[in-house]
Amino acid sequence: MAFEFTDDNFNETALETDSLVVADFWAEWCGPCRMITPIIEELAKEYDGDVVIGKVNVDHNPQVAGKYSIRSIPTILLIKNGEVVKKHVGVISKQALADLIESHK
């Protein structure tokens, strides 16, 4: 199951880790976000222990969403060593996201 990032845990779990982090910014009312959810869940299982893959509900975590200027959802950030190395806005296929993960591991 994908990790749940929050305003309270984001710095510790996403920025202060040696692992690559994939953060999916989403909301319950967002149709395209619901399309990506199964992809995020599958990749979280496949990369368990290697890559931290999780979700940030923008409605419940406005501080993190604001910090990264999330204006459209879904937005996926790849974070390495505390820095955003890739930002993708919109729907993405499982293979395309897996390729992004592999290119930044």
What is the distance between the alpha carbons of residues 30 and 79, in angstroms, rounded to a whole number? 23
Using DSSP, state whether 26 is helix, strand or coil: strand
Q: Is 90 left (phi over 0), alpha (psi -120 to 50) or beta?
A: left
Active site residues: 30, 33
What tokens were used for 27? 């909301």
End-to-end CA separation in angstroms for the chain = 20
